[in-house]
């Protein structure tokens, strides 16, 4: 990728983050890099994904990951069970901005893994240009994954939470 | 609390209301009959009834003291959701909020207000466009204060800090509720001085009073500001790109080297102004990049 040093370890977290940002910037769905015996393959979203809340049977992103793309190596997440996948939906960011898990730095997060939410439950804030948008869940269920780190940028349509609608 | 009909629409348990406050003060100010107590006798005295009569505000609350006008506005919006635009003004704010852990200091004589506006009134109330409200508010503040500050350079630091002669004059914080209702908080350093301000503000903030060595009528300033806000919202409805272009014309950071922290990233670049969609433009070694959030490293 442009700007990356061949002497760097491709599994360096900062390097992966940079790759993710480049994928978002240039709207790339997949990057496959090899360096000697090592290889990194990044996939982002899935073809034809709709903006908003949708079912996510193919989502493999682990909880508390800092980036939306799936990182298949070296930290491959545990695959979901079929039953869970069938009932999982994603809450996506409705705008570009910065993700905040809590109303202010001194407060606990709006929601955490295991919490039950309803359609009107505020799950996070997405801030852009000092406009703090309280984002409602718009779905009922249990939070099973928080997909973005507090204070990290998010893109339009990027998944921020995964919700199991069976509970 | 007052509204256009001069009657309370609900039993809000307000400790102070604008009408109640005026009536309560009459016996203390025995020199003037009630009808001859013009607000202009004291530039700091807010004539909230005149504000209602001369602006698009449907309902208003005027508090001597509040922790935060935005917090009160959000609660009031939940209590009486049918009455907007709702204005909340405080003569003194004890815990004004800014971004993150930042606080907005409000000295005696400053203007602290929050306006609750329904989604239907704002063209920019689509969530993906709501950041434009932030720029619209900054443009409205500049257009309000600039005529009162002749000879001073007034403009915007992206996204919505209003500065005069390089020092912060006004701050804006917009919060969007889950129902897309917007709470627009604006603090303007009007007639306050920095004498009692925290030390860290002494070199970075300024006030209209200190710039002009004169007092500015709070009521007129607020009425003008509300009119400018309505104009900006209406213009946004007809021509969404206008706000970005207007903010770019008022942006004082063109050509400056800026460093922005965005999550784990730190980006340094030369400011290319504000894009029509409101983004900050930075020319970096990787080329021109657009940013919609981030905190400047000064």
Domain range annotation of chain B: 14-250, 257-296
Measure A161 CA to nearest chain B CA, in Å.
16
| CATH number of this structure's domain B14-250, picked from the four choices 3.40.50.1820, 3.40.50.620, 3.30.930.10, 3.40.140.10 | 3.30.930.10
Share of chain B above pLDDT 70, in %: 78
Mean pLDDT of chain B: 82
pLDDT at A5: 38
pLDDT for res B229: 95
CATH of domain B257-296: 2.30.30.100
Res. B3: pLDDT tops 50: yes
Looking at residue A108, the DSSP 8-state letter turns out to be P
Q: Distance between CA atoms of B62 and B89, rounded to whole angstroms?
A: 5
Indicate the pLDDT class of residue B23, thresholds 50, 70 and 90: very low
Flag if A130 and B176 touch (Cβ within 8 Å).
no
Query: Alpha carbon of B77 to those of B16, B50, B60, B85, B228: distances in Å?
Result: 17, 22, 11, 10, 22
Enumerate the residues of chain B whose CB falls inside 8 A of the CB of residue A14: 264
Span of A66-75, A83-92, B81-90 with lowest mean pLDDT: A66-75
Q: Does A131 sit within 8 Å of B127, measured CB to CB?
A: no
B193-207 tens-digit pLDDT? 888 777 777 788 999
SS3 B182: strand
Q: Is the CB of B77 inside 8 Å of chain A's CB atoms? A: no
For residue B160, list chain A residues with Cβ-Cβ distance below 8 A: 129-130
Judge whether B285 is closer than 8 Å to chain A, CB to CB: no
On whether the CB atoms of residues B129 and B118 are closer than 8 A, the answer is no
Distance CA A10, CA A87 (A): 35
Ranges A52-61, A139-148, B171-180, B230-239, most confident = A139-148
| Per-residue pLDDT at B211 exceeds 80 | yes
A14-23, B52-61, B76-85, B147-156, range with the lowest pLDDT: A14-23
More confident residue, B97 or B176: B176
pLDDT higher than 60, residue B144: yes
Q: Which residue has the higher pLDDT, A56 or B70?
A: B70
Q: Which of residues 110-129 of B touch A (CB under 8 A)?
A: 127-128
ipTM attached to this prediction: 0.81
Residue of A nearest to B176 (CA): A133
Q: CB B175 to CB A132 under 8 A?
A: yes
Contacts with B41 (C-beta within 8 Å, 6 or more apart), sequence order: B32
Q: Give tens-digit pLDDT for A43-62.
A: 665 433 332 333 332 222 22
């Amino acid at each position: 990728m442009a700007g990356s040093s061949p002497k760097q370890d491709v599994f360096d977290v900062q390097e992966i983050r940079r790759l993710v940002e480049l994928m978002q910037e240039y709207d790339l769905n997949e990057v496959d890099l090899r360096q000697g015996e090592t290889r990194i393959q990044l996939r982002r979203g899935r073809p034809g994904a709709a903006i908003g809340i949708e079912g996510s049977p193919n989502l493999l992103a682990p909880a508390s990951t800092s980036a939306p793309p799936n990182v298949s190596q070296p930290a491959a997440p545990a695959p979901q069970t079929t039953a869970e996948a069938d009932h999982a939906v994603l809450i996506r960011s409705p705008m570009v901005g910065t993700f905040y898990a809590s109303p202010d730095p001194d407060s606990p997060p709006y929601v955490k893994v295991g919490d039950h939410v309803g359609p009107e439950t505020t799950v996070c804030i997405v801030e852009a240009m000092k406009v703090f948008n309280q984002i409602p869940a718009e779905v009922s269920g249990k939070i099973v994954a928080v997909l973005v780190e507090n204070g990290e940028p998010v893109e339009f349509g990027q998944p921020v939470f995964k919700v199991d609608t069976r509970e | 609390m007052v509204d256009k009909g001069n009657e309370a629409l609900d039993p809000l348990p307000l400790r102070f209301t604008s009408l109640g406050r005026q009536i309560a003060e009459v016996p203390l100010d025995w020199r003037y009959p009630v009808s001859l107590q013009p607000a202009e006798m004291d530039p700091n005295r807010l004539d909230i009834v005149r504000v209602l009569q001369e602006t698009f505000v449907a309902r208003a609350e005027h508090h001597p003291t509040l922790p935060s006008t935005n917090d009160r506005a959000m609660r009031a919006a939940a209590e009486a959701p049918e009455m907007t635009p709702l204005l909340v003004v405080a003569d003194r704010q004890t815990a004004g909020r800014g971004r993150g852990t930042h606080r907005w200091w409000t000295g005696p004589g400053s203007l602290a207000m929050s306006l609750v506006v329904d989604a239907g009134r704002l063209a920019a109330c689509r969530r993906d466009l709501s950041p434009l409200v932030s720029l619209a508010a900054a443009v409205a503040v500049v257009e309000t204060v600039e005529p009162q500050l002749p000879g001073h350079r007034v403009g915007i630091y992206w996204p919505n800090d209003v500065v005069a002669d390089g020092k912060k004059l006004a701050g804006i914080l917009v919060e969007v509720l889950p129902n897309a209702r917007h709470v627009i908080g604006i603090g303007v350093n009007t007639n306050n001085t920095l004498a009692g301000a925290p030390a860290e503000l002494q070199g970075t903030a300024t006030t209209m009073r200190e710039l002009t060595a004169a007092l500015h009528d709070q009521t007129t300033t607020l009425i003008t500001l509300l009119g400018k806000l309505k104009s900006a919202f209406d213009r946004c409805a007809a021509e969404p790109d206008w706000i970005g272009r207007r903010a770019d014309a008022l942006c004082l950071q063109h050509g400056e080297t800026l460093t922005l922290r965005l999550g784990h990233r730190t980006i340094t670049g030369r400011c290319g102004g504000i894009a029509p969609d409101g983004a900050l433009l930075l020319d970096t070694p990787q080329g021109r990049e657009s940013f919609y959030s981030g905190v400047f490293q000064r």
